[in-house]
Structures are given as C-alpha cells and as structure tokens.
Amino acid sequence: MIVQLRLADVRAIVTSSREARPGLAEACAEVGAPHVDADASGSTALPIDPEAPMGGHILFTSGTTGVHKRVLMDPAFEAAFMRRRLRANGINRESVVSVIDFGPWTGVGYKSPAGTWFCGGTVVFSQGRPLHLALQRPDLTECTLLPGMLTSLLASPPGSFPWHEKLKLGVTGGPMTQAQIDQSKARISPIVMNGLGATESNAIAITYIETPDDHRWQVPTEGVIQIVGEDDRPLPPGHIGRLRIDTDNAPKAYLDDEEATRAFFRHGFFYPGDLAVQREDGRIALMGRVSDVINVAGQKISPAPIEERLCDALSVTGVCLASMQDAAGEETLHAIIETPAPIPGDVLAAALRAEIAGFPGVHVHFVPALPRNDAGKLLRSKVAAELAAVARR
C-alpha cells in the first residue's frame, strides 16, 4: 500500500511487530525509507522538523475516471469538516454507528468512524463477515451501505437480522430502486435515506425517503451547492449544468496531482463531474456524469435518470445505456441489463418504448453483473470497451 500511495517524501515506515506485513522490507527499499517497529524498546528516534506541516490521513477516490486519486484529510481543516459532517448526518454522542466492509482509505470507511469518535459516539465494525451479522446489534442508530451491499443484504433469508425501529439506514454511491426502498422499510428499518457525496468533499445532499419525490430529488446539506454552466456561473432552476460544492474547511486539491486538481478544483469549489438540475425549492436531481452524455442521431441525453427508471420498471439491479458506432459509422444505442435471466419480451419492449421511444432502435444485452468499482459505481468506460470488443468479433 505504501508504494501505491506514490508519496514524494517518505521519511519512515512505522508498523507494529504484532502485525504481519508481507513484503514490508521490499516496500521500504522501494521508497527508500527505514522501517521503525513501534513496539521495539530502544528503537532509534526519528528526527522531527518542528517547522514541517502536520501529516494527515490519505483517502483514495472511487476511481470512476479510471484513476484512484489521493485526497489528504489535513488536520488544518479536519475538525471543522467533521463538525459539518456530524450536523448533516445528525450524529451525536448517543449514536451507535455500524461501519460495514469499508476500508479506512475510503470516504465512508474513514469519515464515518472518525466523525463519530469526534463527538464521543460508538462505532461498531463488521469486516469480512456475512452482511446480515452486522445488523445483529439491536441498539444501532446509523448504518451506511452501497446499493450492491443492500441487494445482498435483502437477499438474506427472513429472520437473518432483527427489525430496527430507530436505525437510520443510509445508502450512498448510487440510487436505490423503489423495490429496494420498499423491502428495506419492510425488513430493516422504516428510516431510509439516500446520501450524495464524494471522497473529496463535504456531504452534498442527504434525503430521507418518505415520499415519491424523495426517490429522485435530493435535499442539499449546508454550504454552497450550485448548478453552473460552462462559464461557471450559477444557472436558474430547471437548467441542467455542472454540480459543484464549496471547499470551505474541506480538501482543496488532490495530493501531488496538479493536473487533476486544475480539472476538479477551482474558484473555491469542488466539481465532482456530475450533471444536475435544481428545482425552485432548492432540491437537486442528478442527470448523469459530465462524460456520460450520449449522442445518438443528434440527440444528447444524460442516461442516469433513464437507467434508474428502467431498473424500477424491469425490477433489475442495474442498467447501463451506451452508444457506439456500427459498421456503417452510425451511432447506435445499447442497453446493457444486469439480470440473472432474460426478461420477457413484452415487458422489456414496453419499458424501452416508454423511456427511449425517440431513438431509432436499441440493442439489448443481458449480463449477470455490470462492471463496478470497489465503491459500487458503474464503470462506463469498461462497459464501452466490452461492447467494442464484442463488435469486433
């Protein structure tokens, strides 16, 4: 891991002799740093530069763009960052927060426990175990899952975990289907919420799913959250533009990556790469990624909202719309559907007609699983590459 961090200046690698660290000697040699055993008595003290800035905790982004960028949680802003997070999530010293299978290099895996400890709350870790075991504790008040984790949890037999009347079940990293929402409220907790955020930023929106509107329209958290045009000026309600969130008391750059920093951080804002639209009441809805706009027969669409509705209509866990050129050089639309078995033709045709009737046709592919990263986000570039490979056969 220390090699993967690609740090410019490593002074030492400190570990505990009670931990098994295969390849440690090789890693020390590769980065040119000595190894210090924290448990060894009389170990050589490292020189400390009192003028050097304090360190921090390094997070890896989800890698949606194909690269896991690094984000430094700096002590200079971290206390204020955590306070804002606690206010957004309603965490306090009475909270009992379940952290399930998220590594400490991820946004949820670090921010959830660190923020909870910041206010004196309790954190319960469940790592590498069947998901249903993480919900056995009856006094849990918070739990965050990815959509894929929720799918696996709901596949557990009835009675695998108790009903939690006061648990706030949060889902982040992607949308839920209406079927998942209904099942979650029936089997896990009546309090279901959807979170929108990024490793690089404060929370963007947290929405309690109580009405049909809540499934699609997110409630922004505190801070400055805007939809802007190509000129970086805020757009009026109803116009699709780029989403951005202020970087006040939050990361303002990627670690040792000036090019990526220029692309995603500017004017005091972080641009996560999402297209969104805002209503008159301030609520926002995602309209796909900036790079995900599909152009078919001169029509440009943001596929994410259509994919969500198709998931609900077809009762499947994932749909990806993609366009590519055919042998004649014409753009064609493809729908890649994540399902263990083919969908009846009449059901499929009705759903496609309702959502993409304006296109001359759509090629349908059934797959057992769509490619996703560790955070559960769809890897559209990999879907496109697999489509191109099939077309070349």
Contacts of 202 (CB under 8 A, 6+ apart): 81, 84, 85, 88, 221, 223, 245, 246, 249, 250
d(CA 292, CA 101) in angstroms, rounded, equals 29
- Look at the domain 293-392 and name its fold: GMP Synthetase; Chain A, domain 3 (3.30.300)
User: Right CATH number for 63-288 from 3.30.70.1230, 3.40.50.720, 3.40.640.10, 3.40.50.12780?
Assistant: 3.40.50.12780
Decide which of 387 and 93 is more confident.
Answer: 93
Sign of CA dihedral 303, 305, 306, 307: positive
Residue 224 and residue 234 in contact, taking contact as beta carbons nearer than 8 Å: no
| pLDDT, mean of residues 292-304 | 70
Break the chain into its structural domains and give their ranges: 1-52, 63-288, 293-392
**Span 318-335, mean pLDDT?**
76
Q: What mean pLDDT is predicted for residues 12-22? A: 79
> Can you tell me whether residue 174 is helix, strand or coil?
coil
The mean pLDDT value of the chain amounts to: 87
> How much is the pLDDT for 46?
65
Statement: residue 392 has pLDDT above 60? no
Joined together, the tokens standing for residue 253 give 């750059």
Residue 15 binned pLDDT confidence (cut-offs 50, 70, 90): confident
Residue 180 phi, psi dihedral angles, 5° rounding: -65, -40
Task: Give the burial class of 219: count Cβ atoms within 10 A of its Cβ; 0-12 exposed, 13-18 middle, 19 or more buried.
Answer: middle
Largest distance between two CA atoms of the chain: 75
- Tens-digit pLDDT profile for residues 121-180: 999 999 999 999 999 999 999 999 998 899 899 999 999 999 999 999 999 987 788 888
Q: Which residue has the higher pLDDT, 247 or 212?
A: 247
Cβ distance 190 to 163 under 8 Å? no
Both tokens assigned to 45: 């003290």
Q: What is the pLDDT of residue 100?
A: 94
Is residue 386 pLDDT above 70, yes or no? Answer: yes
Given a cut of 80, is residue 376 above it in pLDDT? no
Contact 192, 166 (CB under 8 A): no
pLDDT at 326 over 70: no
Whether 35 contacts 46, CB under 8 Å: no
Is the confidence at residue 358, as pLDDT, over 70? Answer: no
At 69, the amino acid letter reads K
**Residue 20 confidence (pLDDT):** 74
How many Å is the Cα radius of gyration of the chain?
23
Looking at residue 43, its pLDDT comes to: 58
Q: Comparing 62-66, 164-168, 359-363, which segment has the lowest mean pLDDT?
A: 62-66
DSSP 58-118: EEE---TTSS--EEEE-HHHHHHHHHHHHHHHT--TT-EEEEES--TTSHHHHHHHHHHHH
For residue 297, give every residue at least 6 positions away whose Cβ sits within 8 Å of its Cβ, in sequence order, or none.
331, 359, 360
State the pLDDT confidence band at 54, using cuts at 50, 70 and 90: confident
Report how far apart, in Å, the C-alpha atoms of 163 and of each of 101, 117, 240 are. Answer: 21, 26, 40
Q: Whole-model pTM?
A: 0.76
Predicted confidence (pLDDT) at residue 327 exceeds the cutoff of 90: no
Characterize the bridge pairing of strands 265-266 and 318-325: unpaired
* 368, 340 Cβ separation under 8 angstroms: yes
- Please spell the DSSP secondary structure of 248-298, one letter per residue: TTS--S-TT-HHHHHHHEETTEE--SEEEEE-TTS-EEEEEEGGG-EEETT
